[in-house]
Amino acid sequence: MKKQQTFLVYRNSGNGKVRYERYEVPLSKGISVLEALFYIQDHYDSTLAFRYACRGAICGSCGMTINKVPSLACRVQISGIKKTKEPKNLPEIKFGDLPKWDQENEILVEPMPNMEIIKDLIVDMDPFWKFYREVEPYLDREWNNNSSESYQSPLEMKKIERLVYCILCGLCWACPVNSENSNYLGPAQLAKADRFINDSRANAEQQRSILNRVLKEDAVPACQKYFVCNRVCPKNVMPGTAIKDIRDKWIKEKD
């Protein structure tokens, strides 16, 4: 096993100047890319900016592009990085002039694609949250102290279970449609819509309200079935399949 690993990291202080910097990080058993970034921040440059929280692939904070593949940094171990396959249909992800990158020996770390870069590996998530809110991502039902438990069969629960696991990390915005259309609602958002449309507890009025939004031009119909979202999703939510579900159920009927 190598003792050191070279990282080639995208830096951008927000004033328009982009640079890539190389750092040597000592290797330890099981070390993840996130831990390596902390090493760089702790020992070389405390201003290196990236988001993080749980380090266990459940909070969705540390989305970034690692060796040209959108990933959660905590979930990528350096020892296993060579096994990462580039997802089919993933558009080329570019952030300006990349210096010579030795793909065999260097790990390239860049921000998430298709979002505005604020500083280093930090992107502007505001559009992501804005579009999330637009799908009315909630059960629209009054609750109070005297609410009673509603029944839901295990089978009905199963229908939404996969969609519930979405951690809203934003990696699915690597979709080629997102790269071309900044108004596209986005795979995670549409998956969330599908989760509430299919909740046996949601009423018809709420279903209609969500559908009104997601059947608009920049939402479900904009999906080109690349299924990049399914491939980059770290939680197997399969947003593309959810979009297909909405399309199959609700668009054909309209025709």
Partner 1 sequence: MKIEQFDVVIVGAGLSGLRAGLELSTQWNTAVVSKVYPVRSHSGAAQGGINAALGNLEIGKNDTPKRHAFDTVKGSDYLADQDVVMFMCEQAPKIVVEFESMGAPFSRLDSGLIAQRPFGGAGFPRTCYAGDRTGHALLHTLNEQSIRKGVTFFDEFFLIDIIKVRDQVVGIITLDIAKGELVIFRAPYVILATGGFGRIFKQSTNALINTGDGNGAAFRAGVPMQDIEFVQFHPTTLYGTNILITEGARGEGGYLYNSKHKRFMKKTAPEAIELAPRDIVARAEETEVLEGRGIEDAYIHLDLTHLGAEKIKERLPGIREISMLFAGIDPIEEPIPVQPGQHYSMGGIATKYGGDYGETELTGLYCLGECSCLSVHGANRLGGNSLLETSVFGRAVGRRLLENGRLNNVSIEDIKRAENNAIDAVEKLFRRWNDNSGHKPVDIRETMGIVMNKNVGVFRNQRDLEIAYDKLKNLQESFKSVYVSTEDRRFNYGLIRTLELRNMLDLAECTTFAAIWRKESRGAHYRLDFPERNDEIYLRHTLVYRSKDGLDIKTKPVKLGLFEVKERTY
Which segments of the chain are extended strands (E)?
A: 4-12, 18-26, 63-66, 69-72, 106-110, 117-119, 122-123
* Residue with smaller CB distance to partner 1, 208 or 225: 208
Residues, the chain: 255
Can residue 151 be called a binding residue for partner 1 (CB under 8 A)? yes
Count of residues near partner 1 by CB under 8 A: 60
* Residue with smaller CB distance to partner 1, 2 or 141: 141
For residue 123, which amino acid is it?
Answer: V
Residues 38-97 touching partner 1, rule: CB under 8 A, are 41-43, 46-61, 75
Can residue 204 be called a binding residue for partner 1 (CB under 8 A)? no
* Residue with smaller CB distance to partner 1, 236 or 255: 236
* Residue with smaller CB distance to partner 1, 129 or 180: 129
Q: With CB under 8 A as the contact rule, which of the stretches 92-100, 139-147, 216-224, 240-248 interacts with partner 1?
A: 139-147
Pull the structure tokens for residue 211.
């559908």
Instruction: Tell me how crowded residue 81 is: count the other CB atoms within 10 A of its CB.
Output: 16
**DSSP class of 77:** B
CA atoms of 61 and 125, how far apart (whole Å): 11
Cα–Cα separations (whole angstroms), residue 111 to 4, 44, 234, 235: 23, 19, 16, 20
- Widest pairwise Cα distance in the chain: 64
- Least separation in angstroms between residue 155's CB and partner 1 is 9
Q: Report the residue from 99, 148, 252, 255 that binds partner 1 according to the rule CB under 8 A.
A: 148
* SS3 state of residue 161: helix
Burial of 82 (0-12, 13-18, 19+ CB in 10 A): exposed
Can residue 154 be called a binding residue for partner 1 (CB under 8 A)? yes
Residues 105-134 touching partner 1, rule: CB under 8 A, are 118-120, 122, 125, 129, 133
- Least separation in angstroms between residue 100's CB and partner 1 is 28
CA atoms of 92 and 68, how far apart (whole Å): 8
Residues in contact with partner 1 by CB under 8 A are: 13-14, 29-30, 41-43, 46-61, 75, 118-120, 122, 125, 129, 133, 136-145, 147-154, 156-157, 160-161, 164-165, 167-168, 196, 199, 201
